[in-house]
Structure 1
Amino acid sequence: MEKIKQRPIILVGAIAIIAVLVIVAIQLVAVAPSSGSPYARYESIPQERLSDGAFVLGDPEAPITVIEFADFACPHCQNYSTDIHQLIDEYVATGKARLEYRMFISGADPTYGPYTARLAQCAAELRDGAFWPAHDVLFEIGRAQGRFNQQTARTLADRLDLNYSELLNCAEDASQHQVDQRLGLQYNVQSTPTIMVRTGGSTPEFVTVGPQTYNRGPVPYALLGTIIESAQ
């Protein structure tokens, strides 16, 4: 009789173990690296840093620059990064627009928001052309895990073939995000992601369509595409 009574308990235990294994498997798949080199998307796209250190992607002769103020630890920025990838492929890689990325700490994660910004800067300082791949990897980690942790630097170093110790040392003092933060506050950026546009050498402006000004949150991709096309 005792054996009969134990069977439901054993069955429940087995189900619980299977459930745990399924969850672990899903998590492993979620954080698995995407196929191909993180550098591949950017091999043929010009990259530079402005005089204040900002990271810019695209042809210097492009008629319009899209400026994104974003935080790697911001969930909305993580989701919007898929639109930014499309923007890069459709408009930046084709020479129609440039993309300027400003690291604006939103407060979504007071510890890892600044830390991941420093890691991205240091990736570029340790290897030419590594900022934008670092940008992609960090957003990929954020989308998959929901938040960053102490393993983030190790993962980034492994994915980008960077020296882990040098990355950590550099991240102690990197400060580009502070420059970007001050600029964002100067332009009255209040949330992330925030998009501004600049044509030629003009002052950056928020996107305005009729009575609506997109000064908080992302600009819909279709609208951004229309603005870029109209600048050609």
Structure 2
Amino acid sequence: TFFIDGQAFVGAQPIDNFRQAIALVGEGKSIAPPPQPTPVPEPTPVPLTEDISLEDAAGIQGDPNAPVVIVEYTDLQCPFCQRHFQQVMPELQKLIDSGEVLYAVKDFPLTSIHPQALLAANAARCAAEQNQYWPMHDMLFENQQDWSGNAGAADVFKQYAADLGLNAGAFGDCLDNHKYEETINTNLQEGVGYGVRGTPAFFINRELLPGAYPIEAFQQVIAAVKQAQ
């Protein structure tokens, strides 16, 4: 364990992580926990005998009649979720755009280690009220380092809303009132019931793929579920 100006920095990590931590301390921010799998209390898995409801999904894109449905349980502050967004989502987007995949996002904020995750999920849903879920979702992941560990994250999210051209008053009221907190927590409890232990986690039709896997893993599962149809 290392201490950078009094803040603990745990583990044998790459030099880039040290540089990032030093920069954060220099800006007066807290050092974020190192990326690692983020377990939740041991769930009692429920066999998926029917499709996951998308009624309370945060965002949905793709053809409703697509043969493959992917449901992602995500934490917008999770480094592994960010990696999925950066490295895998561009390839999945091709399948979405081609009509092969319907893609839905549900919230799974791990607030014990990601204190801004719940607020970020609220921000994305507040943007959805103005039909801007996906632009906000993308902006949150693209700029995760700017708000993760930032006590002033709410102001950052409001600036993102302004950058997207949203109605500032409506967005601010929604965010300040934590309008979607109950729905977000319902998503989380649902995921726990389905056997989700950390983020990201994906259901491809009814097949669970837990973790930030490369596109090849998704392609294999997609091929298998299509063959089984």
TM range (shorter): 0.5 to 0.7
Task: Give 2:164's aligned residue.
Answer: 160
**Structure 1: gaps spanning 5 or more residues:** 1-22, 28-48, 199-203, 208-214
2:89 to 85, 91, 110: 85
Counterpart in the other structure of 2:193:
186
Match among 62, 68, 73 for residue 64 of structure 1: 68
How far residue 170 of structure 1 moved from its aligned partner, in angstroms, is: 0.7
Number of the residue aligned with 2:41: none
Q: Which secondary structure state, in structure 1, belongs to the residue aligned with residue 105 of structure 2?
A: strand
Tell me the SS of whatever aligns to 1:105.
coil
Could you say which structure has the higher helix fraction? 1
Normalised by the length of structure 1, the TM-score is 0.65
Give 1:52-201 correspondences, 5 Å limit. 52-107=56-111, 109-125=113-129, 127-128=130-131, 130-143=132-145, 147-148=149-150, 149-171=153-175, 172=177, 173-175=179-181, 176-198=183-205
Distance 2:81 2:57 in 1: 21
- In structure 1, which of residues 209, 224, 227 is the aligned counterpart of residue 221 of structure 2? 227
* TM-score with structure 2 setting the length: 0.66
Checking the alignment, whether the CA contact within 8 Å between 1:56 and 1:98 is kept in structure 2 is yes
Deviating beyond 4 angstroms after TM superposition, the runs of 4 or more aligned structure 1 residues are 143-148
**How many angstroms does 1:112 deviate by?**
1.0
Cα root mean square deviation, aligned:
2.6
How far, CA to CA, are the matches of 2:162 and 2:215 in structure 1? 32
SS of residue in 1 equivalent to 2:138: helix
Q: In the TM superposition, what is the alpha-carbon distance from 1:162 to its structure 2 partner?
A: 0.9
State the shift of 1:196 in Å.
Answer: 1.6
Greater C-alpha radius of gyration: 1
Instruction: Please give the secondary structure, in 1, of the residue aligned with 2:143.
Output: helix
Deviation at 1:165, TM superposition (A): 2.7
Equivalent residues of 1:73, 1:108 under 8 A apart? no
Task: Kindly indicate whether the alpha-carbon contact (under 8 Å) linking 2:57 and 2:106 is maintained by their aligned counterparts in 1.
Answer: no
8 Å CA contact 2:70, 2:104 repeated in 1: yes
Say whether the 8 Å CA contact 2:78–2:114 is kept in structure 1. no
Percent identity between matched residues is 26
Matches of 1:69 and 1:180, distance apart in 2: 8
* Counterpart amino acid of residue 178 in structure 1: N
Change in Cα spacing, 1:68 to 1:134, as seen in structure 2 (3 Å) is same
**Contact map agreement 2:73 2:199 (CA 8 A) in 1:** yes
